[in-house]
Chain A
Amino acid sequence: NAGVTQTPKFQVLKTGQSMTLQCAQDMNHNSMYWYRQDPGMGLRLIYYSASEGTTDKGEVPNGYNVSRLNKREFSLRLESAAPSQTSVYFCASSAPGAGQGVYGYTFGSGTRLTVV
């Protein structure tokens, strides 16, 4: 039981390059999320998927796209990377409680992305 697995752990991109961050969970969770973490800004939601087949924008979606490939996998794509996208990216998943809203997230180990 690996929990939430993110790849890659580190990446350096040149401005304008594209890449996809991969995330997979083996806990049979319905909901998955992508957050970015910047110094002094906390964790900000980029996109989320409440269930397989659905995706929704979060607080900072510009410059990103996502795909919920199946129940296990949720990928984040940067089509044309910009220096402002230099950040640590965390994927997370959660299982909705029975009629009681979402429970705590399980986070992946993060991807440290630098765009030069």
Chain B
Amino acid sequence: GENVEQHPSTLSVQEGDSAVIKCTYSDSASNYFPWYKQELGKRPQLIIDIRSNVGEKKDQRIAVTLNKTAKHFSLHITETQPEDSAVYFCAASPYEYSTLTFGKGTMLLVSP
């Protein structure tokens, strides 16, 4: 089955800095890669996603890049703010299946 590795497990940045979280996946059939943000005590919420026919996608301060050859994808957050502090999960899904395999998460702490 699919295996998703996520790094780093924790990331501390100063407000205004950029943050990058990286994920690798094992199943070459995967074609959908979402990112979820989970604030403390809350449910995970989709913040951005990318499909295999696209190399990069942006939404304001958030961007995701995908390298299908290397089987890795990354989340980039620019101009970080304290409210960006949360746990971020990457995930991958093969076309033929209906389930997402999640990475173990990255705790992002943005200090004022």
Contacting B93 at CB < 8 Å: which of A40, A50, A102?
A102
Given contacts A42-B89, A101-B32, contact A107 B98 (CB under 8 A): no
With the chains together, A57 CA to B95 CA distance in Å? 18
Interface string of A21-62 (1 = CB under 8 A from B): 000000000010101000011111100101000000011000
Q: Is the CB of B44 within 8 A of A31?
A: no
Nearest chain-B residue to A105 (Cβ)?
A: B100
With the chains together, A104 CA to B32 CA distance in Å? 9
Contacting A100 at CB < 8 Å: which of B51, B89, B98, B102?
B51
User: Could you count the A-B residue pairs with CB atoms below 8 Å apart for me: how many are there?
Assistant: 60
Q: Is the CB of A42 within 8 A of B43?
A: no
Is A90 positioned at the interface, with any CB of B under 8 Å from its CB?
A: yes
With the chains together, A15 CA to B49 CA distance in Å? 40
- Give how many B residues have a beta carbon under 8 Å from the other chain's beta carbons: 26
With the chains together, A50 CA to B97 CA distance in Å? 9
With the chains together, A107 CA to B89 CA distance in Å? 13
* A interface residues (Cβ-Cβ under 8 A, vs B): 31, 33, 35, 40-45, 48, 50, 58-59, 90, 94, 96, 100-110
Besides A42-B6, A45-B99, 20 more A-B contacts (Cβ < 8 Å) are A40-B9, A40-B104, A41-B104, A42-B89, A42-B102, A42-B104, A42-B105, A43-B89, A43-B102, A90-B44, A100-B95, A101-B94, A102-B97, A102-B98, A104-B34, A105-B34, A105-B46, A107-B44, A108-B43, A110-B43
